[in-house]
Amino acid sequence: MAPPRILITGFGPFPGAPENPTAKLVEAMRGNPVHLDGLGDIRTEILAVEYDTVPSRLAAIGAEFAPDIAIHFGLSARAEGFTLERLARNEIAADRPDNAGGQPREACIVEGGVGQPSTLPLEAIASALGKAGLPHSWSEDAGGYLCNYIFYLSRSPHFTGFAPAMSGFIHVPPLDGPGAPENAMPIGDLVAGAKVIVRTCAEEWKRARLAA
């Protein structure tokens, strides 16, 4: 059985967040591939926080790489540990411009589309994070900004050309450091947790294929 193709994404900075921990997470995973040895064919991407570029970038990745698993990470100032997002909602926060000043007029991502559940093995991820001593929490609302936007595109059957069998979104808190909030997380814990998440997804993907 061929190993899975795994896409790991994070975002760059955006208004109100000049430092995005998910960019540092992706850079750490890319710069130290020993974390990912043997799990599959890995691709990492740091995406611009721009409504106009995310769909075309995902479509290009789908054409070039065709991931079996897509794990999207994003920043939430309110995240308590690794926040496991259960549902991608067909909504856009039209009052929040992106990094390029883009501000969609529509209130939904896809006309007539419905909410889409994560297909990441969230229960297994929660268990693995707990065993590793890393905090996690649950959420039914990924917000209305680019985090929910990429989550919905990654799961929506209306977005052709990018269709991982397993995909979902996970929020992380700000990085620890001077003046950081109480929920902040050290970069070492962030990378360790991401490793746990990727490994769990790869193992569950392989288990499902063997059982099929």
Residues in the chain: 212
H/E stretch holding 117: strand 116-117
Q: What is the pLDDT of residues 89-142, one digit of tens each?
A: 999 987 788 888 888 888 899 888 899 999 999 999 999 999 999 999 999 999
Q: What is the pLDDT of residues 33-54, one digit of tens each?
A: 545 677 889 999 999 999 999 9
Q: What is the pLDDT of residues 71-95, one digit of tens each?
A: 999 999 999 999 999 999 999 987 7
Total-model pTM: 0.95
Q: Residue 8: is it exposed, middle or buried by C-beta count within 10 angstroms (0-12/13-18/19+)? A: buried
Record the tokens describing residue 41, joined without a space: 């064919």
The Cα–Cα gap between 81 and 84 comes to: 9
Across the range 187-207, mean pLDDT stands at 95
**Residue at 133: amino acid letter:** G
Instruction: Average the pLDDT over each of 36-45, 57-66, 132-141, 197-206 and give the range with the smallest value.
Output: 36-45
The Cα–Cα gap between 186 and 128 comes to: 19
Cite the active site residues.
85, 147, 171
Provide CB contacts within 8 A for 127, sequence distance 6+: none
Query: Which CATH architecture group holds 5-211?
Result: 3-Layer(aba) Sandwich (3.40)
Domain boundaries, the chain: 5-211
Res. 187 pLDDT band, cuts 50 70 90:
very high
Mean pLDDT of the chain: 92
